[in-house]
Structure 1
Amino acid sequence: MSGVEYQKGELFGYDVREYLLEKWGRSCAYCGVTDTPLEVEHIVPRSKGGSNRVSNLAIACHQCNQNKGAMDIREFLENKPSVLARILKVAKTPLKDAAAVNSTRSKIFETLKAKGLPVIAGSGAGTKYNRCRLNLPKEHWIDAACVGEVENLTIFTSQPLVVTAMGHGCRQMVQMDKYGFPRIGYKAKKPVPGWKTGDIINVVKGKNAGLKGVRIKTVRSKGNFDIRKGDKILSVSRNHIQSVHRRDGYNYSF
């Protein structure tokens, strides 16, 4: 088996289509309609020397694609000069974000491969292809499981662990007013031995007993801490809590 189309692989057209959908804002390049099936269209028709290069491809609705047919784009849009100018400009402009991501991931791939690590390259279109083929809903955590070569996928949960980067606080020593002048001098907070903002705890005593895996929002030297439960802020005593996980710069929730 040989030939250009075979060598390009099963996902070649899928990758191109996803790129074009992103480039043209998932709307028809000619009339701007959205929420309708879109087709890959040659700006310069193949019959007039147009190529399959991405810079010669656009996304169009079925009606515009049929109306244009094999016409030259300048003839088709002779009464819409502003649309013509926009299409010709966008067609020659690559996606900046895509170019940056592609160059970055290529460098990462080459570096890891040079170290002898088993690395497999994939694409966002390939991930979407796997997700659609397996009839799975669109979620970031499901996309992560669909990266690479995936034959079958069994999901045992409907709610993944959400990890949020929180950092380790602010190092600013002086608060500023809206003009940039110092407003309040730095007031050192008295530390509470064994406890810090961001610690994950269980509440084992008091009126809030039974809360598990909550995060300390504020530590007070008097011994009362603020914790967050949903949209509410509750106060608990340090004598009523039990440490589960020390602060590491991340917040964990479901």
Structure 2
Amino acid sequence: MSNYVFLIDANKTPMNPIHPAHAKKLLNAGKAAVFRRYPFVLIMNRVVENIVTYPITLKIDPGSKFTGIALINNLDQSIWGMELQHRGAAIKDSLENRKAVRRGRRARHTRYRQARFLNRKRPEGWLAPSLRHRVLTTETWVKRLCKYAPIASIVQELVRFDLQQLENPEISGIEYQQGELAGYEVREYLLNKWDRKCAYCGVENVPLQVEHIKPKAKGGTNRISNLCLACEKCNLKKGTQDIEKFLAKKPELLKKILAQAKKPLRDATAGNSTRWALFNILKKTGLSVTTGSGGQTKFNRTRLGLPKAHWIDAACTGVVQALEILTTKILTVKATGHGCRRMCRIDKFGFPCTKAKQTFTHISTGDFVRVELRKDRKHVPSGIYTGRVKTPTDEGCEVVINGFRVTFSAMEDVFKIHRNDGYSYA
């Protein structure tokens, strides 16, 4: 079933999200109209007096590449889900490209921007642009959802792993030997550190066991730096041997495993830094903000028998006694950006290689449109489609439909349904 539909009255006051079948009845009866496509929001044609709403909890599972978001009603039911794909890597590449172009100008002694790396200080809490983007896009969607739903509280997965208050990047086993979460933090940490593969043979998609690099029988400890993942075959074959003896014929693999064992999970640390920045921003909303760890999320998901997905991880964040999934078709969002201020494309040497950009008032690149093809085109049969504008023209536009560019010489068969806002939707 699809996500529940957001509903606001004529004063744009958020009401309880409604079932898609209920939304269809309101549209057919003319009592509501489409206010926004992504996320799908209906607006009533009248002001509703004395609106009674139930509290909705917004749950967030921040990640370095994807962020999962879920809305949970007062009956512990997941009524709305979303996965947000960040563009941190694209931002990093763009900044490196800009740096190379500016350095090239300085080397040629042409007109250039003065270097400003000695006269500026980074403010407290500074994040790299690629990391700051993750925080800002998540903040944007939190504010957007608060406008369309009666959200009363927020639950955030503050740290993917409990890294000892971020003071010690290695987890000791002694703190996790008691309680219902015993082992979950350690196993989740190891799965990410060793890429969900056997450290010795590299096999994937098989049950993996926690293996002591230095056997406990010979004084090995339970610290993360002495743990790795191994399949049952390799674990039994190694037994209580020293790793130097077990991998005596594979010196390169031995060197790689020993280096990986001592290396902390850098991605997790970077993710944790953005999560703390996001947590401080969420507190400024005035809503109640609670947190949970990644190990707790995995424990809840495993206990409830739910599949692995970013938005389901978000729904399982924090304290969860019971959870019912009422939606399976979620909103998938990808951050695409608004383009750049560059007036034309440049080659690898920094020289312009295209004409200057044109501006059009009727439509813009990235707008979502509904088009009607009256006759078959190459690779695209006739029919009604929804796509994004690739290139506007003086009188028409070029629309991407099913991965192919289709040119419309006039706008009579093109209807704009959603303005470009820096995201693509599915």
TM over 0.5: yes
Q: Distance in 1 between matches of 2:186 and 2:369?
A: 49
Whether contact under 8 Å (2:177, 2:183) holds in the other structure is no
Change (3 A) 1:82 1:157: same
| Aligned sequence identity (%) | 50
Specify the SS of the correspondent of 1:58.
strand
Deviations 1:197-227 (A, max 9, x none): 2333344x77289736543333221x22222
The unaligned stretches of length 5 or more in structure 1 are none
1:202–1:210 Cα contact (<8 Å) kept: no
Counterpart of 2:368 in structure 1 is 200
| SS of match in other structure, 1:52 | coil
Q: State yes or no: 1:25 paired with 2:202.
A: no
Partner residue in 1 for 2:301: 131
Deviates more, 1:205-214 or 1:174-183: 205-214
User: Once the 2 structures are TM-superposed, how far is the Cα of residue 176 of structure 1 from its aligned partner?
Assistant: 2.9
Task: Write the letter of the residue equivalent to 2:418.
Answer: H
Q: Give the direction of change, closer, same or farther, for the CA distance of 1:143–1:50 in structure 2 (3 Å limit).
A: same
Amino acid at match of 2:374: K
Q: What is the alpha-carbon distance in structure 1 between the residues aligned to residue 284 and residue 218 of structure 2?
A: 45
**Letter paired with 2:364:** K
Tell me which of the two structures has the higher relative contact order, counting C-alpha pairs closer than 8 angstroms and 6 or more residues apart.
Answer: 2
Q: Deviations over 1:147-178 (max 9, x none)?
A: 33333333344322222223223322243345
- 2:206 paired residue number: 36
Q: How far off is 1:78 after superposition?
A: 4.4
Q: Does 1:224 align with 2:393?
A: no
Change (3 A) 1:179 1:139: same
Say which of 321, 324, 334 aligns to 1:151.
321
Residue of structure 1 equivalent to 2:289: 119
Secondary structure at the counterpart of residue 11 of structure 1: coil
User: Measured at CA, do residues 150 and 185 of structure 1 come closer, stay the same or move farther in structure 2, by a change above 3 Å?
Assistant: same
Equivalent residues of 2:283, 2:289 under 8 A apart = yes
Counterpart in the other structure of 1:73: 243
> Is 1:246 matched with 2:419?
yes
Q: Is the 8 A contact 1:120 1:148 kept in 2?
A: yes
SS in 1 for 2:222: coil
Give the Cα–Cα distance (whole angstroms) in 2 for the partners of residues 190 and 38 of structure 1: 56
Match of 2:271 in 1: 101
Q: Aligned partners of 2:264, 2:283: CA distance in 1, in Å?
A: 27
Counterpart of 1:140 (choices 310, 313, 337) is 310
Structure 2 distance, partners of 1:96, 1:179, is 34
In structure 2, the CA distance between the partners of 1:211 and 1:147, relative to structure 1 (3 Å rule), is farther
Aligned partner of 2:63 in structure 1 is none
**d(CA) in 2 for partners of 1:81, 1:212:** 58
| TM-score normalised according to structure 2 size | 0.49
Structure 2: which 5+ runs fail to align? 1-173, 376-381
Between the aligned partners of 1:49 and 1:116, the Cα distance in structure 2 is 51
Q: Which moved more, 1:100-109 or 1:87-96?
A: 100-109
Corresponding letter in the other structure for 2:406: L
Distance 1:178 1:243, change over 3 A: closer
- Structure possessing the higher radius of gyration over alpha carbons: 1
1:189 to 349, 353, 358: 358
Which structure has greater strand proportion? 2
Cα contact 2:368–2:389 (8 A) shared by 1: yes
Q: Distance in 2 between matches of 1:153 and 1:244?
A: 35
- RMSD, matched Cα: 3.4
SS state at 1:85 partner: helix
Letter in 2 for 1:227: V
Residue pair 2:385, 2:401 contacting (<8 A) in 1 also: no
* Rounded Cα–Cα distance in structure 2 between residues aligned with 1:218 and 1:104: 35
Task: Determine if contact 2:370/2:417 at 8 Å carries over to the other structure.
Answer: yes
CA distance in 2 between partners of 1:90 and 1:137 (Å):
29
Shift, 1:90, TM fit: 1.8
Quote the Cα distance in structure 1 between the aligned partners of 2:209 and 2:359.
64
2:205 & 2:419 partners in 1: Cα distance? 48
Distance 2:213 2:314 in 1: 35
8 Å CA contact 1:40–1:59 kept in 2: the answer is yes
The more displaced of 18-27 and 93-102 is 18-27
